[in-house]
Amino acid sequence: MMAGSHMVVGAALWAVTARAAGLDPAEPVALSAALAGALLPDIDHPQSWAGRKFRVVSVPLAMVVGHRGITHSLLAVIAGIAALAMMGLNQPMAPLVVGYLSHLAADGVTPSGVPLLWPSRRRFTLNLCSTGSWIEFALVAVIAALGGWAAGLDLSALPRPSGWRGL
């Protein structure tokens, strides 16, 4: 998925998670942490958004493990879930972790998939959409709408086509 898609998915999934946990789903610092977490797994690729910002980490990491290596593995998933279980969702790092996990889930719907059993090269994928495709944008739009709902976004004031009766 594209960086923008990862950011939208990370923020939306944090909003849904926060709402389910009784936290403020629209809290700006938490949403910012979710955005950062959603970009963090690609630190292993020097040409990614995170890789360009943190080349001192990205270049050596890419040389050692390559893109979509350990940062996209089941080890990362387990570490993220364990961190959430130990710290709880009301801690400042929780949105970062949820954003990180959202990235792995989003990559799992692309043909490239994720190497959950790293260092094995086998990739796991649902193969729902190619990066940059209209299907990616549609999927992200649905997830964004879910996140907007969770955050309490009021869409009732938006203009409607004439004759609109709603659903």
Looking at residue 161, what is its pLDDT?
A: 74
Does 61 map to a domain? yes
Percent of residues, the chain, with pLDDT higher than 70:
95
In whole angstroms, how large is the CA radius of gyration of the chain? Answer: 17
Averaged pLDDT, 51-71 = 90
> Residue 156 falls within a domain, yes or no?
no
pLDDT at 86 over 90: yes
Q: Which helix (H) or strand (E) holds 22?
A: none
Lowest mean pLDDT among 18-32, 130-144, 153-167: 153-167
Which residue range is the domain that position 33 belongs to? 3-150
Whole-angstrom distance, CA of residue 26 vs CA of residue 132: 27
Three-state DSSP at 107 gives helix
Is a pLDDT exceeding 90 seen at residue 34?
yes
pLDDT at 166: 60
> How many residues make up the chain in this entry?
167
Q: Is the pLDDT of residue 5 over 90?
A: yes
* Identity of the residue numbered 142: V
Q: What is the pLDDT of residue 30?
A: 96
* pLDDT value at 167 more than 70: no
Separation between Cα atoms, residue 112 and residue 115, nearest integer Å: 9
Closest CA to 45 of 67, 73, 70, 72: 67
pLDDT digits (tens, 9 = 90+) for 11-28: 999 999 999 999 999 999
Query: Is 35 a domain residue?
Result: yes
Q: How many folded domains does the chain comprise?
A: 1
Which pTM does this prediction carry? 0.88
- At 103, the amino acid letter reads H
Is 42 in contact with 65 (CB distance < 8 Å)?
A: no
Res 1: pLDDT: 87
Would residue 129 count as lying in a domain? yes
